[in-house]
Amino acid sequence: MRLAWIAVAVAVVGGLAVGAYFAVSELTKDEEEAPAPSVAVEEEEGDQPQAHAAEELGFPAFATKNTTRVGGDDATANAAGVALAAFPSAGGVEGPAAVALVPSSDWAAGIAASMLVSDPVRAPLLLSDRDEVPEQTETAIDALGPRGSAETSDAQVFRIGEVRAPGDLRSIDVAGGDPAELADAVDKLRQRLVDSEPEHIVVVSSEDPAFAMPAAAWAARSGDPVLFVERDSVPRATIEALKRHESSPVFVLGPESVASQKVLNEVDKIVPSVQRVSGKDPVTNAIAFARLDAGSFGWNITDPGHGLVVANASQPLDAAAGSALSASGKWGPLLLTEDAGAVPASLRGFLLDIKPGYLNDPTRGFYNHAWLIGDSSELSVGFQAQVDDALELAKIEAAPGQPGAPEREPRP
């Protein structure tokens, strides 16, 4: 188990060659000393030889030309891999000042804590348990070397909820009895660290995680707090947080099936404005948020040249695990699928809408790139290939008379 997660983390940071090495590192000693690993593919009825070969070699499961996968066995491993990818703390490059630990069984805590990834705190999220620190998390903390800073109140670790942290690190603890209370407490921590009002507030469902997942990426990018509501009611802790920020506009993420009009009306009594951002299902809901342009709020992804993060809607903790990828490198929104084997039509349509193209020189084009969060049981190699194809830079055939178009032959 340990070997598998290290393969993910190192492959992301070190490149494909390392990934391929670890993919075959379970060979016997004699086999390891051979010049190259052999790939045996047994073809049975219904088998796909190329997919089998890809898994044996480690390609393209770790990366393709337009995608990179963080494919741990679980969200704990994924979070460790993402943290090391977003904060490659080696070669004299300093790591983050602090990390945020969230419970490995609490998706809501992870989404609420994602705001701590944003500037100026920049604390990547890692997962821990109540009784012990997972080996993957402890190894990632050792590699990141959080040292504390003025921006983190000298804390090296933020403990969000009931989680164990390494005993030798200075920590700030954040507690709450339910998602709304914990999100309220995280927001109070944000205010203490940043000492400013948020530009916006994102409100999501505490009962349907798939519709709440895209908020983690935005919180990591913007530092906007994420608060929780139930379908037909607004918890007291959320009301208190809204009253603290009564001048901040609110955006509710999700359709009426997860946050009713009654909820919006109640929120509207407290803040200057409320706007719903939604799609009929988790996939289209995430796309609506990715497309949204509401002034300073929203990703406004409507053209090529962007980073994207993709996860399975059935794995809500992967939203928090991957959030640092939306706040660094090729900043981009979280997109979702409910099908591990094939890209849904709505998601494929969005990817094709922003597909880059060029007329004459591909090196002067714009490029899209997607991070995939999860192993091949959550996002298959075939799914990854479909995403790669949709993101690929394509040659545009110019219309006659347009710049770059071939000259017409003269008429006889």
pTM for the predicted model, two decimal places: 0.84
- Tens of pLDDT along 40-88? 323 334 445 444 444 444 445 688 999 999 998 999 999 999 999 999 9
The predicted pLDDT at position 61 comes to: 64
Task: Give the β-pairing of 334-337 and 394-395.
Answer: unpaired
Beta-bridge mates of residue 337: 312
Quote the pLDDT of residue 136.
94
DSSP 281: S
Residues of the chain falling short of pLDDT 50: 1-47, 49-59, 404-412
Helix and strand counts by DSSP (H, E) for the chain = 16, 14
* Strand 357-358, strand 125-128: pairing: unpaired
Residue extents of the structural domains in the chain: 2-376
Give me the pLDDT at residue 242, please.
Answer: 98
The alpha carbon dihedral of 291, 75, 225, 234 has a sign of positive
Q: Count CA atoms closer than 13 A to 249's CA, side-chain side.
A: 11
Place of tokens 């993957």: 136
Per-residue model confidence (pLDDT) at position 127: 98
The predicted structure's pLDDT at residue 400: 58
